Amino acid sequence: MGDCRCGCGEPAENGDFIAGHSQKLTASLVKQVGGLFALQELVQSAQKYSCEEKSQEEFLDLIRRIFPVKKLR
């Protein structure tokens, strides 16, 4: 038994999440990148980078656009 993976700190008795909290993690991840399309772009870019269809520089540019330094807290 471990803590719920959504980050709420509550114990998850069966599996990774308290019931309903996998959606909390999904919503949190979408919010952190700035929306569902940004998340899609991030995943697609990571895949392209992994397959060498995208350069490291292009990939890092995307990451910095999604996570500008001033927005970090």
Instruction: Supply the minimum distance, in Å, between the C-beta of residue 13 and Zn ion.
Output: 12
SS (H, E, C) 6-66: CCCCCEECCCCCCCCHHHHHHHHHHHHHCCHHHHHHHHHHHHHHHCCCCCHHHHHHHHHHH
| Local structure of residue 71 (DSSP, 8 states) | G
Shorter beta-carbon distance to Zn ion: residue 5 or 48:
5
Instruction: Supply the minimum distance, in Å, between the C-beta of residue 2 and Zn ion.
Output: 11
Q: Which residues bind Zn ion (CB under 5 A)?
A: 4, 6, 8, 18, 21
Instruction: Supply the minimum distance, in Å, between the C-beta of residue 69 and Zn ion.
Output: 29
Shorter beta-carbon distance to Zn ion: residue 12 or 38:
12
Shorter beta-carbon distance to Zn ion: residue 2 or 73:
2
Cβ of 35: how many Cβ atoms within 10 Å? 11
